Structure 1
Amino acid sequence: MLTVLRILHVLSASVWVGGTVALVFVGVPAIRQLEGEARATAMRTLGRRWRPIGWSAMAVAILSGLWLTDRHGGFARAALDTDFDRTLIVKSVLVALLVVGGLLHDYVLGPRLQRELRERNPAAPVTRRRLIVVGWFNFGLTIAVPALGAVVLTTLD
């Protein structure tokens, strides 16, 4: 069972990380070459197609991670007793920040920017900058979280 959980966790995290890398370095730059409504439509379509895959992968990674934590006794001890616990707490905080940042990016700032661009609202450049900052912050977390996962594994030796 532990092996199945680990595989599920790694595969779901791989979908999240790989999909995010593909979006950041392939999808979004290609769409930036477009103009006007074509650009807006392509960005909206990309987001709508990615969200069910990405968010499902994130949910599976979180649930399998919680289950793995339990299987390794992470919930049976007082917090901060071991390197495993301390590293896992940091990783969990970063995952929570990633989820909040992802929700902000996908469901608040992205739709707001789309609306402001359609309305030719002068606030659109500010929203775009915020969206970009949140996006890069999320990207950094997307890379940091699996790195911490590898660190967690080293504490189990």
Structure 2
Amino acid sequence: MFYFILLILHIFSAMVWVGGMIFYVIVVMPVIRNPELKDQKLRLLQLTALQFRNISYFIFLVFLISGIGLLYNKGYFESNGALFSTNIGFMFLSKIGLFTILFLSSLYHDFVTGPKTFLYLTADPVQYERYRKTSAFFGRFNLLVSVSIAILGILVSRGFSLF
């Protein structure tokens, strides 16, 4: 029963994370580009980004706890590392590695490029454009990595390996 609770938490967190990022790209961004919102668009972008950031780090914690719990429940920590020398083990390691990259990239996006974009908005147009592009790149990169992690999770849960 505990395994299924962890699994549901893990899957729901993935739904909120990936779904939230996709929602941001296909709904929020087009809406704030509407000329009627010209005066409010940057504030709306900043507020939605801060709200999603707050949710994101809670979701990362849930991913970490539920992921470790799922591996433990399946007995993978009792295998003396033998699991990680198998094809499915490589899939888990790939997923964990991508999660680490995602977490570090999100930290950089959320606490460096994002805030600096808004900091330079009125002060320095050249720096603003630089950080805006960098922030946009990391946002897209994070979406790509997130979708890759989700796909790996689906594949490994079905016992399918890419290796």
C-alpha distance in 2 between matches for 1:58 and 1:21: 17
Distance between the aligned counterparts of 1:129 and 1:49, measured in 2?
Answer: 21
Paired position in structure 2 for 1:112: 116
Aligned to 1:99: 103
1:60 counterpart residue number: 62
Is 1:127 aligned to 2:128, yes or no?
no
Query: d(CA) in 1 for partners of 2:72 and 2:100?
Result: 18
CA displacement 1:9-57 (0-9 Å, x = unmatched): 1111111111111111111221233435x22211111112222222212
User: What amino acid is aligned across from residue 94 of structure 2 in structure 1?
Assistant: V
For 2:90 and 2:71, how far apart are their aligned partners in 1?
12
- Counterpart of 1:22 in structure 2 is 23
Q: How does 1:32-47 map to 2 (within 5 A)?
A: 32-33=33-34, 34-36=37-39, 38-47=40-49
Aligned to 2:78: 76
**More displaced 10-residue stretch of structure 1: 55-64 or 105-114:** 55-64
- Asked if the contact 1:83/1:155 (under 8 Å) is kept, the reply is no
- Name 2:10's counterpart in structure 1: 9
d(CA) in 2 for partners of 1:76 and 1:84? 16
Output the CA distance in 1 between the equivalents of 2:105 and 2:29.
18
CA distance in 2, matches of 1:35, 1:55: 30
Q: Which residue of 2 aligns with 1:31?
A: 32
Q: Please provide the CA RMSD for this pair.
A: 1.7
Letter in 1 for 2:101: L
With normalisation by structure 2, the TM-score equals 0.87
User: Which range moves more in the overlay, 52-61 or 111-120?
Assistant: 52-61
Distance in 1 separating the partners of 2:30 and 2:67: 32
Which 5+ residue runs of structure 1 have no aligned equivalent?
A: none
Partner SS, residue 58 of structure 2: helix
One-letter identity of the residue aligned with 2:8: I
- Identical positions, percent: 28
Runs of 4+ residues over 3 Å off in structure 1 = none
- Structure 2, unmatched stretches of 5+, are none
The corresponding residue for 1:49 is 51
